[in-house]
Structure 1
Amino acid sequence: MEKQEPLPFTGYQKFVIFILAITQFTVILDFMVMSPLGDMLMKSLSLKPSAFGFAVSAYAFSAGISGLLTAGFADKFDRKKLLLFFYIGFIAGTIFCGVAQSYQALVAARIITGLFGGVIGSISMAIITDLFALQQRGRVMGFIQMGFGGSQVLGVPIGLYLANAWGWEAPFWMVAALSIIIAALIFVKLQPVTKHLSVQRDKSVFQHLWHTVAKSNYRVGFTATALLSIGGFMMMPFGTAFAVNNLGLTNEQLPMLFMVSGVSSLVIMPLIGKLSDKIDKFKIFAFASVWMMIMCVLYTNLSVTPLWLVMIFNVLMMIGVMSRMIPSSALTSAIPDLQDRGAFMSINSSLQQIAGGVAAAAAGVIVTQKSKGAPLEHYNIVGYVIVAISILSIFLMWRVNNLAKKKVNIEEAPVDEPIPLAE
């Protein structure tokens, strides 16, 4: 795995990458578009900030629960049918958001959207693992996760433009309309993904869920994912407040900051994806983790800083974050056996959501503010906590890397009987 020629994609594989990337884009855009609508929604529905915050977190909470609930039967069906089922549910939830005219209806709509949308990423990961060799997955992850950068670049300005022209409901109708077209493409063009059905052993969905959680190798992957999510999410909740109150940026400068970060991630992700298919994925992850640690400590200790320099710091941090995300996702995808992939990805996705919530809560305990508009205090402590978590993440990802290499060696060995990796 030191230096290798990347495997080329077939025409059909390119279509799969496109359809999964655009599917992921709509799911992330649906989540991201809530943020710029905050002020408009609070005024329209007479909401307090805490109530709006609950409406946003309702999605993540329901998405985390959904992943655990669906893990047991995630490997019992054709993955194409499973993807279509949850994507249609996601579309229904998004339409419900568009017609909601009360706070209670909006929260219910966000819960429904989260229950269905929160599972789509894990189903996509299972499809990627089924259809692409490990030597291709770095590039695939790079393209799929461009949805995050694309939603940052497009979600804020388009969402605000449509909301200002036709009301806060308009962005949800836009996401729903685009999603209906994508669902039709999935139905017509995506081939059934059923190879995993031939190796199913567990008769009960509860048995399947328990057997997946019980495997020690899988738990290494779950723990690595949770730690990565905690480290990645700790700075996010107070990023805007720190930029305004500590770095001296204005609210008018924030959209430009988000857009520059989003564009940089769109450029970085495919490059890191290609690189991680050419050289050792763990080495890229370890180097990127050290880079991110340095940037976090420097950034969280800044005082008043000009916009151009804050942009440079954000881009440099984004390079570290994305360069960890892509190789770690590719390596973790190699751990589960064929018959367990759906369940593994569902549990992994749930832990990601839940860990993100834990990270936000932990950051809220650490960071303080003496008065409204005063500089945040102890934000640099968050940076140091991320360093400690990142060091643990490197160790865990080293173990994941060893498991992935062992799995590849087993799969490539000319044996008559399959040798299960996880025990």
Structure 2
Amino acid sequence: MTTITIPLPPARERVVLWLLALTQFTVIMDFMVMMPLAPQLMRAFSITPAAVSGAVSAYAWCAGLSGLLASMYIDRFDRKRLLLAMFALFTLSNLACAVAPNFHVLVLSRAFAGLTGGVLGSIIMAIIGDLIPVERRGAATGVVMTSFSLAAVAGVPTGVMLAAHYGWASPFYLLVLLSLLIWGGAWRVLPSLAGHLTRPVPLSEVLPNLIGLYRVGGHLKAFLLSGVNMMTGMLVIPFISPMLVENIGVQPADITWVYLAGGVATLFSARMIGKWSDRAGAQRVYRYIALFSILPIMFMTHMPVIPLAAVMLFFPFFMTAISGRNIPMQALMTTVPEPARRGAFLSSSSAIQQVGSGFGALAGGWMLHTDAAGHIAGYGLNGWIAAGLTLFSVLWVGRVGAAAKAAPVGERKVA
């Protein structure tokens, strides 16, 4: 099957990539800001760390369900129109979070945010696959993945600072405003992307096509890598802020500076890792960064009482490693399916990532408890499990390749 990559002038390509990065920025900020807000939410609603992890996992589970359902329709529509529609619903979900009167309504609003925002990442990656030649997709993914850095540098610190002065709901109001502005820019700048619609797919073929995605052995290997990679991070990330506050003695307002330090580092590292992935190969770069990430994971989950300055010096290593390994992995994922099934495959992959995130956050919360001194205990076990899963992903990534040429499971080649 021939490629459907659509060339754009370099200047417009850069603008499109940065618009996609800003779109992804709002999604990542929406997800990330719940974590440093955990101490404030625990006090405002009189809840435990496990309850906060439940809210995080509610988003992830619903995002996974949304991604799975989206794989049935994502390749049936113009990418631009679908992106704008889902982004508008995502904006409404943040408004619902902002006006939530109690924790139960907030959890339901987070579930709505997961349903709407969960599919945006796969749409963005499908657009990259349609617009960017394979030899430059690592760099393009690096640009879009700077959204993680922007969220850590600007989004999360600003949200935490606003929450400290104006209440926990203020970051969500900020997200509504930013999303409206970015939506307007995307509406004006994004080109129509209907090149993948080579043949209208009858509704009767949608479910068989979805099942067919899971009959390809190469797809299954890629899905497993996606899920395990995200699970390792979410065993650790949602509990960083409560641990720093309760165990290390960091003030809630000072969490801003910790995330700012980490975000500044990833702002520079994301594009460098993307270019490195193009030169050296996504599999090799993933192995190196994932192996390195074990060290900061273990230190984070076994951190002694240290000054705030020391936490700020360490956190860039953690953020660079955890976010950096996602760049070669996502670039690798765009090469797995054939172009006409790229959207459905990436949507399914996104769904499995969200399920992995949800399971990691939920399981991580189950293993934690508050001791008699008010400290969070059990975090070290989370770190050991995350390290073991990371080692598995390092070994497994070598099995993930161009599955578009692979035969479905059970199908034999004819000599």
Q: Which residue of 1 aligns with 2:412?
A: none
Instruction: Tell me the residue number matched to 2:350.
Output: 349
Q: Which moved more, 1:34-43 or 1:349-358?
A: 34-43
Supply the distance in 1 between the matched residues of 2:294 and 2:51 (Cα, whole angstroms).
34
Amino acid at match of 1:125: M
Give, as a single letter, the amino acid of the residue that structure 1 aligns with 2:311: V
Unmatched 5+ stretches in structure 2: 1-6, 409-415
Shift of 1:27: 1.6
DSSP 3-state at the match of 1:195:
coil
Give the residue type in structure 2 aligned to 1:339.
Answer: A
More deviation in 232-241 or 260-269? 232-241
2:411 matched residue in structure 1: none
Structure-2 change in CA distance of 1:100 and 1:333 (3 Å)? same
Report how far residue 104 of structure 1 moved.
Answer: 5.0
Equivalent in the alignment of 2:79 = 79
One-letter identity of the residue aligned with 1:159: G
**1:391 maps to 2:391:** yes
Structure possessing the higher relative contact order (Cα contacts under 8 Å, 6 or more residues apart):
2
Aligned-residue offset at 1:99: 3.8
Change (3 A) 1:210 1:380: same
Question: Aligned in 2, Cα 1:86/1:318: closer, same or farther, shift over 3 Å?
Answer: same
Match of 1:324 in 2: 325
2:109 corresponds to 1:109? yes
Say if 2:61 is the partner of 1:69: no
Shift of 1:263: 1.4
1:153-196 CA deviation, whole Å, 9 max, x = no partner? 22333224444665544433322222122222222221111121
| Corresponding residue number in structure 2 for 1:307 | 308
Deviation at 1:316, TM superposition (A): 2.1
1:310 and 1:39 mapped to 2: Cα distance? 18
Moved beyond 6 Å, runs of 4+ = none
- Once the two structures are superposed, what CA deviation does each residue of 1:35-58 show, in whole Å capped at 9, x if it has no partner? 4555666777x5544666544443
Offset at 1:373?
2.4
What amino acid maps onto 2:333 in structure 1?
A: T
- Following superposition, the deviation at residue 22 of structure 1 comes to 0.5
Aligned to 1:336: 337
TM-score by length of 2: 0.86
Structure 1 distance, partners of 2:384, 2:35, is: 27
The alpha carbon displacement at 1:103 in A equals 4.7
Q: Relative to structure 2, which stretch is displaced further, 66-75 or 368-377?
A: 368-377
The answer to whether residue 62 in structure 2 is matched with residue 28 in structure 1 is no
Of 222-231 and 310-319, more deviation after overlay is shown by: 310-319
Deviations 1:265-304 (A, max 9, x none): 1121111112222222222211112212233334444423
| Residue 284 to residue 213, structure 1, CA distance change in 2 (3 Å) | same
Residue correspondence of structure 1 range 85-104 to structure 2 within 5 A: 85-103=85-103
Q: Give the whole-Å Cα distance in 2 for the aligned partners of 1:217 and 1:202.
A: 26
Identical-residue share of aligned pairs (%): 33
Corresponding residue for residue 360 of structure 1: 361
Distance in 2 (CA, whole Å) between partners of 1:43 and 1:373 is 13
Whether 2:244 is the aligned partner of 1:260: answer no
SS of the equivalent of 1:197 reads coil
Of 61-70 and 50-59, the range deviating more from structure 2: 50-59
Distance 1:240 1:57, change over 3 A: same
Q: Whole-Å Cα distance in 2 between the matches of residues 100 and 242 of structure 1? A: 26
SS in 1 for 2:372: coil
Q: Give the alignment's Cα RMSD to 1 decimal.
A: 2.9
1:271 corresponds in structure 2 to 272
| Residue 214 of structure 2 is aligned to residue 213 of structure 1 | yes
Equivalent-residue separation in structure 2 for 1:100 and 1:385 (angstroms): 35
Aligned CA distance change for structure 1 residues 330 and 41 (closer, same or farther; 3 Å): same
CA distance in 2, matches of 1:315, 1:328: 20
Report the CA distance shift for 1:35/1:282 in structure 2 as closer, same or farther (over 3 A). closer
1:188-227 to structure 2, matched below 5 A, reads: 188-198=188-198, 203=203, 204-227=205-228
Cα contact 2:35–2:240 (8 A) shared by 1: no
Aligned-pair CA distance for 1:134: 2.1
Mapped partners of 1:230, 1:172: distance in 2: 25
Pairing of 1:93-242 with structure 2 (within 5 A): 93-103=93-103, 105-163=105-163, 168-198=168-198, 203=203, 204-242=205-243
TM-score by length of 1: 0.84
State the alpha-carbon separation in 1 of the partners of residues 183 and 78 from structure 2.
16
CA distance in 1, matches of 2:186, 2:239: 38
Do the aligned partners of 1:199 and 1:339 also contact (CA within 8 Å) in 2? no
Q: Flag structure 1 segments of 5+ consecutive residues without an equivalent.
A: 1-6, 408-419
User: How many residues are treated as equivalent by the alignment?
Assistant: 400
Taking a change above 3 Å as real, the CA distance of residues 161 and 309 of structure 1, as seen in their structure-2 partners, is: closer
Moved more, 313-322 or 336-345: 313-322
**Aligned twin of 2:3:** none
